[in-house]
């Protein structure tokens, strides 16, 4: 898979590419490339953005700059490019990333991630150059770089060999193997700590019972919610300003 990132801050990805699972993926022939649209801007002084029509705060990434950048990188009209590879505009209001969507993206041979900054993209970039608009959550980040890393991380760790153990990305939260539910809880040594005991079934050595227990806990978390824990009234009281302590 070829993962390309178009960002005004390509150096952010230097650290990302040194992470173990990313290095593993790169060693297996996957590719991460970064491009700065400023390198192709037709405007003077490296300008890439402009004030919004209609007024308002902030600056908007220009459609002509993105057009030139994508043409420079791929040697073709970006309107056609999106029919040949996934071109994702990262935007808070886009399609929410979830495990099923990650599976879909992980099967692609090539993806381009467009990172916005400031007020975001001129809408014509999303409409005419992108195949998808993707959000990593209903909140606003300062730029698309962290969102791009979320997409890249989730997609790359699904590639065979990226993780240490081949099976570790199969039975994870929200996977098909767990029926879309969050993962069951894990425990390790010591078996008892400060009076907190590991569920005995996990120490029993009965693989079927363990698998059944895990399915139950996973399903419970899917029904109740990811933490499967109601708020503890004692903790809430302690945190209250002027509360005990
Ligand atoms: N004015 C925009 C709005 O209210 O929707 C927010 C722009 S944000 C400060 C700048 C850039 O960060 C966006 O263009 C997008 O690329 C990226 N971004 C911020 N939050 C994001 C999210 N939740 N998912 C994906 N990208 C996000």
ipTM: 0.99
What's residue 239's pLDDT? 86
CA 169, distance to chain mean position in Å, is 15
Whether 245 shows a pLDDT value over 80: the answer reads no
All CATH 3.40.1280.10 domain ranges in the chain, comma separated: 2-156
Which of the listed residues 91, 101, 142, 150 should we mutate to test ligand 1's pocket, taking the one with most ligand atoms within 8 A of CB? 91
Burial class (CB in 10 A: 0-12, 13-18, 19+), 204: exposed
Which of the listed residues 12, 51, 92, 112 should we mutate to test ligand 1's pocket, taking the one with most ligand atoms within 8 A of CB? 92
Q: What are the φ/ψ torsions at residue 59 (nearest 5 degrees)?
A: -120, 150
β-strand partners of 50: 60
Q: How far is the CA of 121 from the centre of ligand 1 (A)?
A: 9
> Which pair of tokens denotes residue 138?
């209903």
**Ligand 1 atom 9: residue of nearest CA:** 142
For domain 172-238, give the fold: 1.10.1270
On whether 116 is known to bind a ligand per the annotation, the reply is yes
In short, whether 144's Cβ falls inside 6 Å of ligand 1 is yes
> Which pair of tokens denotes residue 245?
């302590």
Q: Tens digit of pLDDT for each residue in 46-61?
A: 999 999 999 999 999 9
Q: Give the pTM.
A: 0.93
- CA-CA distance, 12 to 40, in Å (whole number)? 19
In short, whether 92's Cβ falls inside 6 Å of ligand 1 is yes
Whether 80 shows a pLDDT value over 90: the answer reads yes
Yes or no: domain 2-156 corresponds to CATH 3.40.1280.10: yes
All CATH 1.10.1270.20 domain ranges in the chain, comma separated: 172-238
């Amino acid at each position: 898979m070829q993962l390309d990132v178009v960002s005004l801050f390509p150096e952010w990805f230097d650290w990302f590419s040194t992470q173990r699972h990313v290095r593993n993926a790169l060693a297996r022939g996957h590719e991460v490339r970064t491009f700065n649209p400023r390198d192709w801007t037709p405007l003077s002084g490296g300008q890439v953005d402009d004030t919004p029509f209609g007024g308002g705060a902030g600056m908007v990434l220009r459609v002509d700059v993105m057009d030139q950048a994508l043409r420079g990188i791929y040697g073709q009209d970006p309107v056609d490019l999106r029919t040949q590879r996934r071109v994702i505009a990262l935007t808070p209001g886009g399609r929410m990333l979830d495990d099923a969507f990650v599976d879909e993206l992980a099967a692609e041979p090539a993806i381009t991630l467009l990172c916005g900054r400031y007020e975001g993209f001129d809408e014509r970039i999303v409409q005419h150059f992108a195949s998808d608009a993707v959000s990593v959550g209903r909140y606003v980040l300062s730029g698309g770089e962290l969102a791009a890393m979320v997409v890249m991380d989730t997609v790359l760790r699904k590639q065979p060999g990226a993780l240490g153990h081949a099976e570790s990305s199969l039975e994870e939260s929200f996977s098909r193997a767990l029926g879309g539910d969050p993962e069951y809880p894990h425990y390790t040594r010591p078996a008892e700590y400060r009076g907190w005991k590991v569920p005995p079934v996990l120490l029993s050595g009965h693989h079927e019972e363990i698998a059944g227990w895990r399915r139950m806990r996973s399903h419970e978390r899917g029904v109740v919610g990811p933490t499967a824990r109601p708020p503890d009234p004692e903790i809430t009281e302690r945190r209250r300003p002027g509360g005990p302590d």
